[in-house]
Amino acid sequence: MSAVDTRRGQREGRPEKLVAILFIGAIGLAFLAGFVRVFVLNQDHLFAPTPEGMVLRFEVREVESPLDRITVRPSWTGEAAFTISLPATRSHAAEALRRTYPDGLEWTPAASEAGAGDSAVEPEPGPIRLWPERELVFDFDGDGVEDRVLTVPEVDYGWVKVASGADGSILYENYDPLYYESDERAFPLGDLDGDGYGELALVHPRMDRSKFDFLDPHAFAHAFMDVKSWVTVVSGSELAPR
């Protein structure tokens, strides 16, 4: 084979090598894009939630089991305050966080209220419930008619919607990207500040899935980030027409 034939063969082989390099590069870029989308961008549940109409937001510890339920209830004595009850877990004792509305300061209730609050903190995880045992009603939009919170099974998992008691229209909705966590996350607080509009507590529970599910696409991020839960309070007055 002459030198001319050798050079011609090298030139003819270059396009094939270039195509192979471009093909491998494209696969690498597609893999990198998928990794970023799944393990980096798709991590909204790790950031502090900002539901529409939010007045207050509290960071609380993560839940450790689908049985762990964070609950919120208003003051039983009519004060502008509420109690966030955190369940007992393998790592933590049950505790109650008492806060005033709308400033979110620590609240020291009367003796009768304090005793009720202490007993309201569940010492053990409660039973699995597919939907609340009680009907969740309160006057959210201030029209004098009780509105109703729709949860599973009336709406899809992770959704909370408030339906008007007057005409059934949806007054408010909020979605939370739950996976293993409890779906019981809406707690009407009544009209805490006496302005005619109701307040609604929303629980945003989070579990560190890197501890038990390494195949979960979120486990990678959980292994390097501090997983927290949140409780937010939204008010119908924030959504009222101005």
- HEC string for 123-153: CCCCCCCCCCCCCCEECCCCCCCCEEEECCC
What integer best gives the mean pLDDT of the chain?
78
Copy the structure tokens of residue 210.
């890197």
Q: How far apart are CA 19 and CA 8, in angstroms?
A: 18
Identify whether 28 is part of a domain. no
Identify whether 157 is part of a domain. yes
Identify whether 233 is part of a domain. yes
Identify whether 19 is part of a domain. no
Q: Which tens digit of pLDDT belongs to each residue from 11-48?
A: 555 667 777 777 777 776 765 555 555 554 445 567 88
Identify whether 9 is part of a domain. no
What is the extent of the structural domain holding 100?
Answer: 44-239
Where does residue 180 rank: exposed (0-12), middle (13-18), buried (19+ CB within 10 A)? Answer: middle
Q: How far apart are CA 117 and CA 59, in angstroms?
A: 20
CA angle 17, 18, 23 (to 5 degrees): 100
Identify whether 146 is part of a domain. yes
Identify whether 145 is part of a domain. yes
User: How many folded domains does the chain comprise?
Assistant: 1
Q: Is 235 helix (H, G, I), strand (E, B) or coil?
A: strand
Q: How far apart are CA 161 and CA 151, in angstroms?
A: 7
Percent of the chain predicted with pLDDT > 70: 67
pTM (2 decimals)?
Answer: 0.74
Identify whether 27 is part of a domain. no
Other C-beta atoms closer than 10 Å to the C-beta of 114 total 14
